[in-house]
Structure 1
């Protein structure tokens, strides 16, 4: 009877030790799996391209997938690149409005930031110094939060409704800003589209689907160089 008690006690101790060892191994295994999952999540986080602009970026009057931002996503997907395009266009947006809402779009770091604003400032005759100041401030804000983000500035031109002097000075804002902040400049976003009735909606300002395809080819070399 004494031997049986010893044997039972010995077996109980072995079982207890095995249980503790198993629990320890399970905990270590779980911790390792969680660590690997977190590492994989960080490593595979998808990069983003943020188009930040007005109705031109938003694709006014057409399906958003047919806008130059949407077409950029389609081009990237066709090339098998792991980038997500975010369309931050808002119809009627001015540089002041863009500056005030920028923080909403900077919760995550964009790999590439395409700034397309100022057209509405020019059409409304807003003081040119204010437009330039806002563009500079937008670039500064992006760089302050994400120094590694690559910034592309889309140049814009306006009809001479406000006078030739205003029109020329407005056009000069973009190369001046690009030089001052050392960012990539697309000289004129609507090159080959502006002033072409067949490539614009009846308002004569916003491109059609065909117009946006031309805009894509204008901006693509600048985007591709940053990918």
Structure 2
């Protein structure tokens, strides 16, 4: 009496199995990749026309080369590593990213905040993202030259230590070719702090090779 019901159940399970093997509609398709960018004014398009910043350029590049990858820009002008740390858990829960790009630390340096605090915040954010199942890319920054060579080396090394301790990817200097250009003023806005529109493709070029390897 129950044999037809059993046959129907068997058919349903078989259909699900075939779907997962790709013989039917992709009901079991892999989840889309989502890149969460947590940064400061360098990533928040400060002083720029909307849609011209490096994060917006990244979204356009992904649309061409890796369709289906979404970019969430959670950057805030003036953000420090402490601010990023306080927001990270909620951002991870809300967006559930597969990749997290952390572009923070520059404002810590400009404000003269303790280096050990900056490093600890970066460590915590990286650990949180990794624990949530995301791959992490750190964008390193450099100290202004007036802080002295020793402090500059320590600040630069902090990013490398964080990346090594949690096996995160690292771009050693996010503003390479911009901040260290022999004529850097052509790449900056009038405040001499924030990169201008012409610098944005260079910033993306510094990030893309490493991020592309992560987006398999």
Give how far 1:109 is off. 2.1
Which 4+ runs in 1 deviate beyond 6 A? none
TM-score, normalising length: structure 1: 0.78
Aligned counterpart in structure 2 of residue 217 of structure 1, from 202, 205, 212: 205
Q: Per-residue displacement from partner, 1:36-69 (whole Å, max 9, x unpaired)?
A: 9xx9576374321111111111121113421111
CA contact (8 A) 1:95 1:121 kept: yes
C-alpha RMSD of the superposition: 2.4
Give how far 1:123 is off. 0.7
Pair 1:189-2:174 in alignment: yes
Structure label with greater radius of gyration: 1
Q: Per-residue displacement from partner, 1:202-224 (whole Å, max 9, x unpaired)?
A: 11121111101111111110111
Give how far 1:141 is off. 1.1
Gap runs ≥5 in structure 1: 1-24
Pairwise mapping of residues 43-122 of structure 1 onto structure 2 (< 5 A)?
A: 43=29, 45-107=31-93, 108-122=95-109
Gap runs ≥5 in structure 2: 1-7, 20-24
CA distance, structure 2, for counterparts of residue 210 and residue 46 of structure 1: 31
CA contact (8 A) 1:73 1:85 kept: yes
Q: Per-residue displacement from partner, 1:166-189 (whole Å, max 9, x unpaired)?
A: 222112111111112111110100
Q: Quick check: which one's helix share is greater?
A: 1
TM-score, normalising length: structure 2: 0.81
Aligned counterpart in structure 2 of residue 201 of structure 1, from 178, 189, 192: 189
